[in-house]
Amino acid sequence: MSSSPHPLQGQLHAVHVLGAAAGAHVRSLSAGLVARGVDVTVCGPAGTDTEYGFGTGGARFLPVDVGRSAAADGPALAALRTAFSGAGVVHAHGLRAGLLSALALGGRRVPLVVTWHGGETPAEGRAGPMVRWLERRAVRAATVVLGVSSDLVDRARGHGARDVRLAPAAVPRPQPRPPLLPADGERRKQRVRAEFGAEERPLLLAVGRLEPAKGYDFLLTAAAYWADSELRPLLAIAGEGPQRAALEQRVEAEKLPVALLGRRDDVPELLSAADLVVLPSRWEGRPLIAQEALHAGVPLVATAVGGTPELVGDAAHLVPYGDPYVLARAVVDLLADPERRAALAITGRAQAATWPTEDDTVAQVLSIYDELAGP
């Protein structure tokens, strides 16, 4: 943790409020801001500090339950009011965190920045009216809204936000590893694949929270199509969430070629062993697994939703959401075309090189803080 309990005289104190997503981005951003002389406090669910280590980047951490439960709102508001004392700027990540931050600030003349990462439930179905209400309230309460993709910028403007800016959130780039001899790399790949019984069949990888917006029901239906194909690919899904039991039941009942891995902290190793990454989401802002796949040179098949097309450009095979046959056909065709996979791997790394770096993101955010908190 940061050793100083209070900011120095004249030092900007920025309080970041973290909800249920964007922990990796907040860890990167907070460390970069501290390195540039900003005093940073991160407020978020208790487990996030253990997972992301905000203190190791020089930030102060305060456990505040800014999750999805309305029952926790009262204690969260009280904790945020205390945390905001002496703040020069409050920066909330996610719409729920933004709305709670606005309520906690009350009438204080403290600038509120809200980064809209897009992790909220899509504004469809029964929950649609409530989600749209949350979107309107949160973006209108913000001094500045930062949208990680152009479609979020457009949505925020449509909801009446005062000041909206495009701010593609960078995530930490993979750390370079010592080069392996081809034989060593192949042995490591086969060791990972053997864990799932995929030594002699293609391995597909999906990563993300097991919840409806991530499109796993749609993906399992696609898996049923390719189960009888000559290649018989195995799909490994890394992640936990409320859909776990229902997905397990489908896999068992339909005898699908799917392995539910649960939560994993070795995604780079999984990527190194995968033939393809599949992203079947109903909506995404700037999906982390898509960035990781392109950085690693693993071909990506993804739904053309939200900010994904803007993120990947021509470096992935995009399919419409909701048509499992088209998704299955794209996977099978790509597995049968090694030249196309090799081309996507090269294009993917080139596309990843065009994305903003962590330094770029920190510089943009710091310039906004200077603009809002300046004399």
Total domains, the chain: 2
Q: Which domain holds residue 306?
A: 182-352
Name residue, tokens 């039941």. 249
Is 186 found in the same domain as 143?
no
Q: Per-residue confidence of the chain (375 residues) as pLDDT tens digits?
A: 444 445 554 689 999 999 877 888 999 999 999 999 999 999 999 888 988 999 999 999 999 988 665 555 888 999 999 999 999 999 999 999 999 999 999 988 999 999 998 755 555 666 667 778 888 999 999 999 999 999 999 999 999 999 999 999 887 766 555 655 455 566 777 788 888 888 889 999 999 999 998 999 999 999 999 988 888 999 999 999 999 999 999 999 999 999 999 999 889 999 999 999 999 999 898 998 999 999 999 999 999 999 999 999 999 999 999 999 999 999 999 999 999 999 999 999 999 999 999 999 999 999 999 999 876
Is 188 found in the same domain as 84?
no
pTM, two decimals, is: 0.85
Residue 175 domain-assigned?
A: no
Q: CB-based burial of residue 196 (10 Å sphere; 0-12 exposed, 13-18 middle, 19+ buried)? A: middle
CA distance 132 to 255: 39
Distances (CA, A) of 315 to 84, 208, 231: 43, 20, 24
Residue 299 domain-assigned?
A: yes
For residues 348 and 293, the answer to whether their CB atoms sit within 8 Å is yes
| Domain harbouring 275, CATH code | 3.40.50.2000
Residue 339 domain-assigned?
A: yes
CA distance 300 to 174: 17
Residue 122 domain-assigned?
A: yes
Residue 81 domain-assigned?
A: yes
Residue 327 domain-assigned?
A: yes
Is 81 found in the same domain as 46?
yes
All residues at 6 or more sequence positions from 265 whose CB lies less than 8 Å from its CB, including other chains? none
Q: CB-based burial of residue 15 (10 Å sphere; 0-12 exposed, 13-18 middle, 19+ buried)? A: buried
What values do phi and psi take at 190, rounded to 5? Answer: -70, -30
Residue 205 domain-assigned?
A: yes
Is 208 found in the same domain as 310?
yes
Give the 3-state secondary structure of residue 276.
strand
